[in-house]
Amino acid sequence: MAPALAQEKFYTIDDIYSLPEGSRAELIDGKVYYMAPPARKHQRIAGELFAVIREYINTNHGSCEVDIAPFAVFLNEDDLNYVEPDISVICDPNKLTDKGCSGAPDWIIEIVSPSSRQMDYFTKLFKYRAAGVREYWIVDPEKNRILVYNFESENTGDYTFSDSVKVGIYENLFINFSKIADLLNI
Cα separation, 135 vs 108, in Å, equals 6
The rounded mean pLDDT for the chain is: 93
Residue type, 108: I
Residues paired with 147 in a beta bridge? 138, 158
Cα separation, 27 vs 82, in Å, equals 5
For 48, residues 6+ apart whose C-beta sits below 8 A from its C-beta are: 180, 183, 184
At 2 the pLDDT is 58
At 182 the pLDDT is 87
E strands of 35-168, at which residues?
65-68, 73-74, 87-90, 101-102, 107-111, 135-140, 145-150, 155-159, 164-166
What's the average model confidence in pLDDT over 58-84?
94
Task: List, as one string, the DSSP characters of 126-163.
Answer: HHHHHHT-SEEEEEEGGGTEEEEEETTTTEEEEE-TTS
pLDDT at residue 1 greater than cutoff 60: no
What's the average model confidence in pLDDT over 128-152?
97
Give tens-digit pLDDT for 147-170. Answer: 999 999 999 999 999 999 999 999
Confidence of residue 9 (pLDDT cuts 50, 70, 90): confident
What's the average model confidence in pLDDT over 130-157?
96
Confidence of residue 3 (pLDDT cuts 50, 70, 90): low
At 7 the pLDDT is 67
Q: What is the pTM of this model?
A: 0.93
Give tens-digit pLDDT for 17-58. Answer: 999 998 999 999 999 999 999 999 999 999 999 999 999 999
